[in-house]
Structure 1
Amino acid sequence: MRALLVLAGALAIVACQPAPDPGETIVAGPAAERVARETGPLKTAIFAGGCFWGVEGVFSHVRGVKSAVSGYHGGTERQARYELVASGVTDHAEAVRVTYDPALVRYDELVRIFFSVVADPTQRNRQGPDVGAHYRTALIPTSAEQLEVARAYLAQMERSGLWQRPIVAGIERAQAFFPAESRHQDFVARNPGHSYVERWDAPKVAALARLYPAHYSAAFQRG
């Protein structure tokens, strides 16, 4: 176990760090044919798409999002620690739990934004410089309505021909979500000069503002 922890700590050092660009692209995804029909109080959905800093950073600038929390989806609570998850020895995925007002932004619109500017749906078990199953890209619906929308949008993406490589992003059954350590929350807002943020996350926020100005909020919605 001690050797495992040492390995985990060593590997965590390189997590969410700049690396050679593998060709991540920004694609303006199609408007959803299957529109989410959600009403009532705030809703919650989970998105996994590489390092959670950028996922949280983008959704925190979306109008109607009331909270975006970085964390670990799946796996066990005992292993839900950054050093272990980042080493790839657990079953978790780095993910973000998004709470939103469906009267202001629909789930299908969040999914469109996610695949347009946050996560490249053609990269398997990686995003940008971050490699491993814990960086897998997946929609994690928390309701039957979200599940229908997620399935329909992935199928629509396949038919669209907008992406040059096959769509490999998936859908995962919602399991336990464990919030990440406090140092990872609101990371983009608190560390704008971090080299990783400047290289990988700030361009995603800029793309949100450029492609979806009606959904963009200049204010960062913390926590």
Structure 2
Amino acid sequence: MSLVCEIPGANLAIARGDFPNPERDIDPASAGGEQQAVLGGGCFWCVEAVYKEIDGVSAVAPGYSGDGAHNADYKTVCSGTTNHAEVVSIRFDPKRTSFGQLLKVYFAVAHDPTQKDRQGEDRGRQYRSVIFYADAAQKEVAEAYIRQLDAAGVFNAPIVTEVVPLEAFHEAEAYHHNYAELHPEQGYIAAVAAPKVAKLRQKFGDKLKRGR
């Protein structure tokens, strides 16, 4: 039996000009306990800052996926000599927020999925747009949502997000964790991360943890 279900009325948001909900998502009744999503969308400081705000998310950790443990360190990844992407691991309760809804935030707020191997001035394969799926259900939902967004013309260019299996998540060095919240005055955080968090709070206030 498939864990993926159709979401009635998901395409109504397109007619209203809102960012559309996924037409397919993982059925929360079949999802079991806490789940993990691993997403890459440029600098992990910024993506982490967005997902820490979401209700139903219990933990967000920056790290590296796409290559081996031997070269999963910040200096080596930033050199562009690995196949790692900067990613975040998101632990979430599927009864409170779904994988599809995390993807909605990913495409609508967390990054620009039409930029190949870059995000803004951050250039290199380590900054690519990529979804590392944990199982067949996540793969199905991610690929279906990309097709849905492309068909609806939500972006003015094709989505280039890669959808690949998760082989391993290598947690980043301790000083990267919660970086945006700890360093709000840092220039990059103020220019890149803060506007994304502000957009999330403006557009998706119903998805935020209490007190955010």
Q: Give the TM-score normalised by structure 1.
A: 0.84
Q: Is the 8 A contact 2:62 2:88 kept in 1?
A: yes
Is 1:46 matched with 2:32? no
Bigger fraction of residues in strand: 2
Residue 61 of structure 2: SS of its match in structure 1?
strand
Q: Report 1:91-110 matches (<5 A).
A: 91-110=83-102
2:23 aligns to what? 33
Q: Structure 2: how far apart are the matches of 1:121 and 1:174? A: 19
Residue 91 (structure 1) shift = 1.2
- Residue in 2 that maps onto 1:135: 127
Query: 1-side partners of 2:119 and 2:20: how far apart?
Result: 21
Residue 208 (structure 2) aligned to one of 216, 219, 223: 216
Task: State how far apart, in whole Å, the 2-side matches of 1:219 and 1:67 are.
Answer: 17
Aligned mates of 1:147, 1:219 — CA distance in 2 = 33
| C-alpha distance after superposition, 1:48-89 (max 9, x if no partner) | 110000111100011100011000002111111100101101
Unaligned runs of 5+ in 1: 1-26
Give the partner amino acid of 1:30: P
Distance apart, 1:218 and its partner CA: 6.0
Aligned twin of 1:22: none
| 8 Å contact kept, 2:135–2:165 | no
The residue correspondences of 1:74-93 to structure 2 (distance < 5 A) are 74-93=66-85
Match of 2:47 among 42, 55, 58: 55
8 A contact 1:37–1:145 mirrored in 2: no
**Letter of the 1:209 counterpart:** R
Q: Give the paired residue count.
A: 194
Question: Alignment identity in percent?
Answer: 36
Q: For residues 118 and 176 of structure 1, do their structure 2 counterparts lie closer, same or farther at Cα, with a shift above 3 Å needed?
A: same
Quick check: 1:111 aligned with 2:110?
no
Contact 1:158-1:167 at 8 Å conserved across structures: yes
Partner of 1:186: 178
Secondary structure of the residue that 2:59 maps to in structure 1?
Answer: strand
How far did residue 33 of structure 1 move?
0.6
Q: In structure 2, the residue corresponding to 1:122 is in which secondary structure?
A: coil
1:209 and 1:132 mapped to 2: Cα distance? 29
Tell me by how many angstroms 1:40 deviates: 2.3
Of 62, 65, 70, the match for 1:70: 62
Q: Deviations over 1:122-146 (max 9, x none)?
A: 1000012210011000111112211
Letter matched to residue 71 of structure 1: G
| Residues 17-40 of structure 1, C-alpha deviations (whole Å, 9 max, x = no match) | xxxxxxxxxx95311111221332
Please report the TM-score for the alignment, with normalisation by the length of structure 2: 0.88
CA RMSD of aligned residues (A): 1.4
Give the secondary structure class of the aligned counterpart of 1:172.
strand
Structure with larger RCO (C-alpha < 8 A, sep 6+): 1
8 Å CA contact 1:28, 1:116 repeated in 2: no
Deviation at 1:205, TM superposition (A): 0.6
Are the aligned partners of 2:34 and 2:94 in contact in 1 as well (CA < 8 Å)?
yes
The alpha carbon displacement at 1:217 in A equals: 2.6
Q: Deviations over 1:82-119 (max 9, x none)?
A: 00101101111100000000011000000000010011
Unaligned runs of 5+ in 2: 1-16
